[in-house]
Chain A
Amino acid sequence: MPTLLMIGTRKGLFLARSDDRLAWSLDGPHFPMNSVYAAAMDPRPAASGGSVRLLAGADSEHWGPSVFRSDDLGASWQETEGGAIRFPAETGAALVRTWQLRPAGADQPGVVWAGVEPGALFRSDDGAERFSLVEGLWDHPHREQWMPGGGGLCLHTIMPHASDTDRMLVGVSAAGVYRTDDGGKSWEASNTGIHAWRMPDEHPEFGQCVHKFAGQPDRPDELFLQNHGGVYRSDDFGATWSAIGGNLPADFGFPVAAHPHRPGTAYVYPLVKDEHRMPPHDRCRIYRTSDAGESWEPLDDGLPREHAYVSVLRDALCTDDADPAGVYFGTRSGEVFASADEGTSWTSIVRHLPDVLVVRAAELP
């Protein structure tokens, strides 16, 4: 089956296609001069005879942010009415950017979640045509004390529980992880065990600079998290976290991706913290754990092995849903690498793009 790879960059969205995950064709840019931080593929319409719906959050320096959707795999795009995501007037807030678009599970058709800056969660019930603010999180008493990270006060990660629609985690920089067990009505901080960087209290209730977390549908309680200093695992859907950065050459980084099927398997891209932020030993290496973080192995077959100063942003590493899994990452210097063998070997599939902000991949039906 063909694989589609969405590549969001600082100057538009590119779409790469492959029948074998080795040779790729590329088209784009869609939304030129728009930063595309959020990209998603919604497979639910395909289950009822339609096409996979593509979603993109694009923001123009001049004309502001909007959400686009495509029901023909990128041949044409529809812009959501009025930009789709807008804060209610009484909040006094205005949307800066959409950081994350996350279709819910098959048992919630039409539901799409959006994480935005300033830190807030929105919900759509019509497949991303209109969104409304999740007030339970916006009204949380902690919110007034949240501090923006370097990327802004962004809600960058949304993790619905795969088997319980009332449960969800979100990640906010630099507020940490928050969880709901009642479908978004109430929220509580969920950072137990995560170290806080440059805070007087190193284990506060909230304020952790969480960069990304990821899980796999088959094991919804097992999550992996890349913090601003520290890699963690949770076995209880974020109630508690344990450090697993043991033999990584550096435990700083931005992205983390989970294997789509294989238990205990995840990928990170370590950087030397904190003012350096380049890969250890100037080698471009993905690290993979196959034992839930007990150990990590470097993967660099096909990746630059010297004079590599590239970094990878929080959403610019992903897996597809195939078996064996494909793994993909894009760099701030505009190169995208793909692996068709679960990360063991890599191929550069496109170079000279603008800074890569997000990659998302899936096999098409």
Chain B
Amino acid sequence: MTSGSTVHVRVPASLRTYTGGRSAVDVDLAELGQEPTIGALLDRLAKTHPDLECRLRDEQRRLRRHVNLFLGNDNVRDLSEQDTPLAAGVEVAVMPAVSGG
């Protein structure tokens, strides 16, 4: 359940070893600074769930090439990527790109 003051991060099954088996992580919007963004959310995850965050971004804080983050129905790559602003109550879904053989 998404709380009005949090960002709800949905995590695919293949990454749940890094969330204690949980399918989602809630992050308090107040932890994301004055202008909450996707980048600030990932910075926060780097502190609370570092092994999850390093699967989403490389050590130069770039989104991994085959990782997609959806804000609602929008891929953040089609918005402002890590500068995409966040509001309370939104859901961010981590999804692996359709790739590989």
Please list the residues of chain A having a beta carbon within 8 angstroms of any beta carbon in chain B.
Answer: 33, 60-64, 79, 81-83, 86-89, 92-95
> Cα distance A88–B61 when bound, in Å?
12
B4 at the interface (CB under 8 A from A): no
Chain A contact surface mostly: loop
Contacts of A61 in B (CB 8 A): 66, 99-100
In the complex, B58 has a CB within 8 A of chain A: yes
Q: Which residue of A lies closest to B50 (CB)?
A: A82
Q: Which of B17, B51, B60, B96 contacts A62 (CB 8 A)?
A: B96
The reply on B62 being an interface residue by CB < 8 A is: yes
21 CB-based A-B contacts, threshold 8 Å? A33-B100, A61-B99, A62-B64, A62-B96, A62-B99, A63-B15, A63-B56, A63-B64, A63-B67, A63-B96, A64-B55, A81-B50, A81-B51, A82-B51, A83-B54, A86-B59, A87-B59, A94-B58, A94-B60, A94-B62, A95-B59
B59: A residues at CB distance < 8 A? 86-89, 94-95
> CB distance B54 to A86 under 8 Å?
yes
Contacts of B67 in A (CB 8 A): 62-63
**Cα A92 to Cα B51 with chains together (Å):** 20
- B14 sits at the interface (CB 8 A): yes
CA distance A161 to B21 in the complex (A): 45
Query: Nearest 6 A-B pairs (CB), nearest first?
Result: A94-B58, A63-B55, A62-B96, A86-B59, A62-B66, A61-B100
CB distance from B67 to the nearest CB of A (A): 6
Inter-chain CA distance A117–B56, complex, in Å, is 19
In the bound complex, what is the Cα–Cα distance between A63 and B62 (angstroms)? 12
B1 at the interface (CB under 8 A from A): no
Contact between chains at A93 and B60 (CB < 8 Å): yes
The interface residues of chain A lying within 8 Å CB-to-CB of B100 are 33, 61-62
B19 to chain A, nearest CB (A): 13
Q: How far is the CA of A63 from the CA of B57 in the complex (A)?
A: 8
Chain B neighbourhood of A63, CB < 8 A: 14-15, 55-56, 64, 67, 96
For residues 32 through 80 of chain B, which have their beta carbon under 8 Å from a beta carbon of chain A?
Answer: 50-51, 54-56, 58-60, 62, 64, 66-67
> Which B residues lie within 8 Å of A82 (CB)?
50-51, 54
- Known contacts A33-B100, A94-B59, A94-B62; A64 and B54 CB within 8 A of each other: yes
